[in-house]
Amino acid sequence: MDLTSENIILIGSLLLFISILAGKTSFKFGVPTLLLFLGVGVIAGAEGIGKIQFENPHLTQFIGIIALNFILFSGGLDTSWKSIKPVVWQGVSLSTLGVLFTATGVGTFVWLVTDFSIYEGLLLGAIVSSTDAAAVFSILRSKNIALKTNLRPTLELESGSNDPMAYFLTIAFLGLVVHQDQSLLSIIPLFLQQILIGGFLGFLFGKISKMIINRIKMDFEGLYPVLAIALMFLTFSATDTLGGNGFLAVYLCAVFLGNQNLIHKKAIMRMFDGLAWLMQIVLFLTLGLLVNPSQIFPVMGIGLLVSTFLILVARPIGVLISLSFFKMKMRRRWYISWVGLRGAVPIVFATYPLIAGIEKAGMIFNIVFFVSVLSVIIQGTTLSAVAKWLHVSLPSQAKQRSPVDAFLEDSAKSLMREITIPEGHNSTGKRIVDLEFPKKAIIAMIMREGKFITPTGMTTLEDQDTLVILSEDSETVKDVYTQFGLPDEGEGNTHS
């Protein structure tokens, strides 16, 4: 079956519906959703039941870039600076040095055991060097695993920030394969250019995006997520055009925005969460359609060798070296090493050699696909067992609460205060989003002229407004009064 303008919507919606239904089983059986989405795509492909003819690496790469933008931006918005601050350098080391040592380890091994040149081996190593956050945490949630100390934020930070490094290495080593007269040292200026420009523009566009979102007044709340999408693509394309790492810029921009006060922030984050899931499904389905299983079987032997070396040697070495600068129990290092699932990102990066038309592009793509699937099967289905075996999971009675549980438990203990804005106070005329309000407190309601108003970030404070403040603890209450420059006139109430 060929994809045409007449049937693409019908086929696409059916595949999307089937994928969502299949994804529900991941929480029951502990199978990563990634594997199921890929499976649906393969079954619907040219050699499957659907017989859909799809052989377009250019379109696949374009879809992959769009999808990765949404996935990275959504992950950045959900990243709490408070949670990652204690482990930020561990995460950065894992996402840079860890990726580098994993890539060079696998590349050297491939060069030694196959007829690949050293640059072709390093290219393959670079492509499989990044981990897949979506697969990891869907399994952790399905098995209800809670991890000790700062393991979870470390894994979140690494998986969210290691794609830019893998992308750079892929582009750099692909360039060396195409232009073999160049020296390995020639990639150093490219690395500095990508990281420095990408990092600088990421934070710059983050600040610009915050200013634009908070200052542009739109009549419809639904337009704010659309504005955020436009700013996301502007960040990526502008950074890429100027020679920086667009994926790094998008992630850093989102991390900055996620930790700021924004107009309709909840609406923006909900929209991106849904779009990230949509993009993951579309991406996995597209990759599944592109693969021909008959071409995978001839490379299974090499793929098995590469997978074994990657899981048991290259990844552990990369983790141990990159974490050697920090104090951490060895069993936690081993668990971080095991949580190194390969997913959709390596398969997307494997389309770059296909488009460049290098000699072993098809073989590289098929090996990467096999390695990614095997990694998900072996590591993805054993995350909970390995966590218990290494004693890095919390007992059931000590597991971290979900956000819903935390809200239900904490809401009964919330401290409530009523603060009246005096005449001529410096907060009069300011919007709530501009107050730099403590993050552990909210303005639940405003009483104005005898009427109650449900505030939003756009709400402007007026003289004699009475603010109903809810806070998690007494220290935050003090911060609220300090913010307004007013004395705390009482103990207030406990919300029940």
The per-residue pLDDT for range 74-107, each reduced to its tens digit, is 888 888 888 888 888 998 899 999 999 999 999 9
What mean pLDDT is predicted for residues 25-31? 54
Q: Does 274 share its domain with 358?
A: yes
Domain boundary, last residue among 398, 429, 462: 398
**pLDDT (0 to 100) of residue 249:** 94
Q: Does 375 share its domain with 469?
A: no
Q: Which of 80-89, 179-188, 264-273, 302-311 has the highest mean pLDDT?
A: 302-311
Query: Is 406 a domain residue?
Result: no
| 8 Å CB contact between 77 and 254 | yes
Phi, psi torsion values for 304, nearest 5 degrees? -65, -40
- CA 281/CA 23 separation, integer angstroms: 9
The number of domains in the chain is 2
Beta-bridge mates of residue 259: none
What mean pLDDT is predicted for residues 108-136? 88
Helix and strand numbers, DSSP H then E, in the chain: 24, 5
Q: Which residues touch 5 (CB under 8 Å, ≥6 apart)?
A: none
Residue 276 Cα distances to 10, 76, 283, 449, angstroms:
22, 11, 10, 43
| 3-state secondary structure (DSSP) of residue 152 | helix
Q: Does 424 share its domain with 367?
A: no
Q: pLDDT band for position 494 (50/70/90)?
A: very low
Q: Does 162 share its domain with 230?
A: yes
What mean pLDDT is predicted for residues 255-276? 86
What mean pLDDT is predicted for residues 187-197? 90
- CA 392/CA 148 separation, integer angstroms: 6
Q: What single-letter DSSP state applies at residue 182?
A: S
**pLDDT (0 to 100) of residue 495:** 43
- CA 306/CA 370 separation, integer angstroms: 10
Does position 492 have pLDDT exceeding 50, yes or no? no
Q: Does 384 share its domain with 458?
A: no
Q: pLDDT band for position 25 (50/70/90)?
A: low
- Full residue range of the structural domain in which residue 75 is found: 8-398
Q: Does 156 share its domain with 289?
A: yes
Q: Does 89 share its domain with 177?
A: yes
Q: Does 216 share its domain with 139?
A: yes
Least confident range from 214-228, 371-385, 410-424, 463-477: namely 410-424
Least confident range from 7-16, 97-106, 199-208, 244-253: namely 7-16
What are 277-308's pLDDT values in tens digits?
888 888 888 888 888 888 888 999 999 999 99
Least confident range from 239-253, 307-321, 326-340, 409-423: namely 409-423
**H helices within 179-314, ranges in order?**
187-215, 223-241, 246-258, 265-290, 293-296, 300-309
What are 38-84's pLDDT values in tens digits?
788 888 877 778 777 777 888 888 988 998 899 889 888 888 888 88
Query: Is 404 a domain residue?
Result: no
- CA 237/CA 235 separation, integer angstroms: 6
Indicate the average pLDDT of the chain.
82
* Alpha-carbon Rg for the chain in angstroms: 25
Taking alpha carbons only, the member of 435, 436, 439, 427 closest to residue 476 is 439
What mean pLDDT is predicted for residues 310-320? 94
Q: Does 385 share its domain with 419?
A: no
**pLDDT (0 to 100) of residue 451:** 81
- CA 244/CA 202 separation, integer angstroms: 10
CATH code where residue 428 lies: 3.30.70.1450
Does position 35 have pLDDT exceeding 90, yes or no? no
Q: Does 104 share its domain with 226?
A: yes
Q: pLDDT band for position 371 (50/70/90)?
A: very high
CATH code where residue 383 lies: 1.20.1530.20
Residue 125, phi-psi category: left (phi > 0), alpha (psi -120 to 50), beta (remainder)? alpha
| 3-state secondary structure (DSSP) of residue 443 | strand
